[in-house]
Amino acid sequence: MKTLWTPWRIEHVQGLAAKPRHCLFEPEGHEKQDKEQLLLFRNATVVVLLNRFPYSNGHLLVAPCRHVACITELSPAEAADLTLMVQRATAILRRRLSPQGFNIGCNIGAPAGAGIADHLHYHIVPRWQDDHNFITVIAELRTIPEHLLATFDRLGPDFLAISST
Ligand SMILES: [Zn+2]
């Protein structure tokens, strides 16, 4: 079961994680969606990003807009919005990529495996039966831009259709 929660540490282990000037979960600009930043959705409280270092196709990151490290720091309204967005994003993945399962969760604190420990984020990892070959390929090649952008295009319209309010 350990493997379910450690694979995204590979970016950490390999030192390949992007080191943006600012926090990854606070994308630049104000656009609701921005392909260059792999930003699928943003409103006043929540952002959804396509993980640049995916564990599987469609690996999403859902975070509150506010820079907090733990779910205990969220207001009830923020916690509700975040949970609702995890649910909506999962529904979109189910509709567009037809996965057979999901790993959904968050690593809180560096010892728990959080790559970016100071900004809370949920991972949504779609899973398929016998998807290990794919995962191995992705893990070794680490990020094929065309592949990421194709997935972005596939999911993007559904996120744009979500009301901002
Ligand atoms: Zn942040």
Residue 108 domain-assigned (yes or no): yes
Residue 28 domain-assigned (yes or no): yes
Span from the CA of 88 to the centroid of ligand 1 (angstroms):
22
Query: Can you give the residue range of the structural domain that contains 22?
Result: 2-160
121 assigned to active site: yes
Span from the CA of 22 to the centroid of ligand 1 (angstroms):
8
Residue 139 domain-assigned (yes or no): yes
Catalytic hit among 121, 123, 132, 147:
121
Spatial distance between the Cα atoms of 51 and 119, rounded to a whole number of angstroms: 15
Phi first, then psi: give them for residue 55, nearest 5 degrees: -90, -30
Instruction: Please give the tally of structural domains in the chain.
Output: 1
Residue 125 domain-assigned (yes or no): yes
Residue 165 domain-assigned (yes or no): no
Span from the CA of 98 to the centroid of ligand 1 (angstroms):
31
- 121-135 pLDDT, tens digit per residue, is 999 999 988 776 665
- 49-79 pLDDT, tens digit per residue, is 999 888 888 999 999 999 999 999 999 999 9
User: What distance, in Å, lies between the first and last C-alpha atoms of the chain?
Assistant: 38
Count CB neighbours of 22 within 10 A.
8
pTM of the entire structure? 0.82
Rg (CA), the chain: 15
Place of tokens 């993945």: 93
46-50, strands of its sheet edge to edge: 39-42, 46-50, 60-64, 122-127, 101-105
Residue 81 domain-assigned (yes or no): yes
Span from the CA of 64 to the centroid of ligand 1 (angstroms):
9
